Amino acid sequence: MGGFLQEQLTWMNFGIFFAWGVVMLLVVLGFVTYAIYFERKVIGWMQMRIGPNRVGPFGLLQSVADVTKLLIKEDTIPKKAERELFMLAPIITFIPAFAVIAVIPFSQSLISTNMNAGLLYYVALSGISTIGIVLGGWASNNKYALLGGMRSAAQMISYEIPLVISVIGVIMTTGSLNLNVIANAQAGGFWHWNFLPQIIGFFVFVIAGVSELNRTPFDLPEAESELVAGYHVEYSGFRFAFFMLAEYVYVFAIAGLTTTLFLGSWHSPFPFLDFIPGLIWFLLKFSAIVFFLFWIRATLPRIRVDQLMGFGWKVLLPLSLINIFVTAIYMSVGPMLSVYFFK
């Protein structure tokens, strides 16, 4: 697919492109459907509960039933809401969540697009979803929804800064914004993966990524106990489903991006395991990150909003800046030391 985008656009190429988009959409929707199921089962297991077990064998159709219920529920719009913006907000939130997946490489051959500024594309588009959340809160003409939207804007902007700065070390060491180049630079074993030399950046990226997803313990925009569900309190039916869909699609995207940037992407941890297809390695690492996100939701309580903002500005931002300086010093002094000691 990487070379396809550089070819002259024809009806055949357009058909291939459209079909690939439909396949990716189905894959992502399938992931979302069963990520919800497995999240409920994993959390139930950790908290000594059963989880879904009634609808279908082992409860496998529970998420399908929940989605069907949302799609057939009445679509209500508050009388005094800004009608057009109210309807547009879920779409603005969802479309960037799906579009960013285009630059994530899944294996050496399974690449949607080989974009030179792929990482910049991801960061730029993912920030648009914040507009949809704020717009949904404001257009609802509800004070609780507005507070949820404002909280989300403050949180996502605050944590997007250390999130972006934390990956600058990876960009410096690989010399590229192309995610395929970054992935290929980590070949040869786990000691070449970026999470080792960029351990500070990895730590900051994971925490800021959880906050960007609005997941526990950073789910302040949706704090039900304080804001009656926050920015989407007035939404029902399929519009509410769009907001929830965007959240889980971003789980897919952030897990894929973390795997690509820090965990060697499709490369095996040991060279003698290279006979295993790269897609298998990518899916194993991807699944481990998704499981980690479920794990922390089952174990950590929600923090206060002042703790949230203080941690982002006072801890993560300085650490991400320190990571840049440490990386720059290593890149400047490291080669000279290696020549001196191993000449």
pLDDT tens profile 159-200:
999 999 999 999 999 999 999 999 999 988 899 999 999 999
DSSP annotation of 9 reads: P
Average pLDDT, the chain: 87
DSSP annotation of 218 reads: S
pLDDT in tens, 91-100: 999 899 888 9
pLDDT exceeds 50 at position 294: yes
pLDDT band at 228 (very low <50, low <70, confident <90, very high): confident
pLDDT exceeds 60 at position 304: yes
pLDDT band at 2 (very low <50, low <70, confident <90, very high): very low
